[in-house]
């Protein structure tokens, strides 16, 4: 449960530099970090000679709620969603930079909790938090910039899929969407699906493994499987068909859906924020460990289909500012 921070020192009482010390002191850095927090900029190793970079912004009330998640869970999520983008390019994560904006009355423990979660997720990926900034604002906002290294391989973009390629996925689908519905109904369990919404667990190593195996296109599932496959289809000028027999919802999702009067298959096809990886591979490639085939790349006029037919529903994935 989210902890009570109402009686603890605020960010304004702690001060900018006191807060920076609380966020950075005593943190170990991995070999990628040549110079960490404390100077005008960080220095990060780039053995490949190229740097993969990605930025995401998380806003309280849009991407997270502190009555649903602890600051540590939000911190983990903030880092995870960025590192999933790095992995989706076939790169190894190397470091993250952090920006915090918040009102002065925000308890300092909220920001140190966010930092604890960020460092925990960075450690899971084998990297460090190398720098950042803190500023005053009217809302709590977290911005993450993630960097990665291609390890000598070409980047895997959205634009390389070709008809006849295999479509495969690594990671969970539908869990975060299920957790969001559970929380929205006022429940806090089952913990497994609720925590899937609170912080995803992207398969970071699966991205470089896919690149090494010859993946032709790749993306992380942030907006929903069909929506994100649509991005690959558009960039590659192809169609994509997924097969529901390869996308059967986990038994736990089926139980939650039955209890809530929902459709677990719909969560799998359209639910975002799991940050699984989905990629296309040449047809005769042996898929890396953890990857499973879910469909195939078709001709452009086919569009994105499910079992050979358009998936007719009001929502196929998340899009900011979309009103209908």
Annotated binding site for substrate: 63, 273, 318
Main-chain phi, psi angles of 110, to 5 degrees? -65, -45
Q: Known binding site: residues?
A: 40, 54-56, 63, 85, 132-133, 158, 220, 222-223, 273, 318
- How would you classify the pairing of strands 52-59 and 43-44? unpaired
Annotated binding site for ATP: 132-133, 158, 222
Q: Convert the chain into a string of H (helix), E (strand) and C (coil).
A: CCCCCCCCCEHHHHCHHHHHHHHHCCCCCCCCEEECECECCCEECCCCCCCEEEEEEEEECCCECCCCCCHHHHHHHHHHHHHHHHHHCCCEEEEEEEEEEECCCCEHHHHHHHHHHHHHHHHHCCCEEEEEEEEECCCCEEEEEEEEECCCCCCCCCCCCCCCCEEEEECCCCHHHHHHHHHHCCCCCCHHHHHHHHCCCCCCCHHHHHHHHCCCEEEECCCCHHHHHHHHHHHHCCEEEECHHHCCCCHHHHHHHHHHCCCHHHHHHHCCCCCCEEEEECCCCCCCCCCEEEEEEECHHHCEEECCECCCCCCCCCCCCCCC
- In 3D space, the residue among 95, 117, 114, 82 whose CA is nearest the CA of residue 35 turns out to be 95
- Binding residues for Mg(2+), as ranges, are 40, 54-56, 85, 133, 220, 223
C-alpha 19/C-alpha 13 separation (Å) is 9
Six-digit token string for 158: 């959205």
């Amino acid at each position: 449960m989210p902890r009570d921070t109402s009686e603890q020192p605020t960010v304004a009482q702690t001060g900018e530099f006191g807060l920076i010390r609380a966020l950075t002191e005593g943190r170990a850095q991995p070999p990628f970090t040549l110079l960490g927090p404390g100077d005008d900029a960080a220095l990060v190793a780039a053995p490949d000679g190229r740097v993969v970079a990605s930025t995401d912004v998380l806003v309280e009330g849009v991407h997270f709620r502190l009555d649903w998640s602890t600051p540590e869970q939000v911190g983990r999520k903030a880092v995870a969603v960025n590192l999933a983008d790095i992995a989706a390019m076939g790169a190894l994560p190397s470091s993250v930079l952090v920006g915090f904006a918040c009102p002065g009355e925000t308890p300092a423990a909220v920001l140190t909790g966010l930092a604890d979660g960020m460092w925990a997720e960075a450690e899971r990926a084998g990297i460090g938090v190398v720098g950042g900034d803190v500023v005053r604002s009217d809302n709590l906002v977290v911005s993450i910039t993630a960097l990665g290294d291609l390890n000598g391989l070409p980047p895997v973009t959205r634009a390389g899929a070709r008809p006849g390629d295999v479509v495969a996925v690594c990671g969970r689908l539908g869990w975060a969407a299920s957790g969001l519905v559970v929380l929205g109904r006022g429940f806090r369990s089952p913990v497994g699906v609720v925590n899937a919404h609170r912080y995803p667990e992207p398969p970071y190593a699966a991205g470089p493994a896919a690149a090494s195996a010859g993946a032709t296109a790749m993306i992380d599932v942030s907006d929903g499987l069909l929506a994100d496959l649509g991005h690959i289809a558009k960039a590659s000028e192809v169609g994509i068909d997924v097969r529901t027999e390869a996308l059967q919802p986990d038994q736990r999702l089926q139980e939650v859906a039955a209890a809530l009067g929902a459709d677990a298959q719909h969560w799998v096809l359209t639910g975002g924020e799991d940050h699984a990886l989905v990629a296309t591979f040449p047809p005769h490639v042996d898929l890396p460990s953890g990857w499973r085939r879910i469909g195939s790349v078709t001709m452009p006029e086919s569009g994105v289909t499910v079992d050979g037919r358009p998936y007719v529903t009001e929502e196929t994935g998340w899009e900011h500012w979309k009103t209908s």
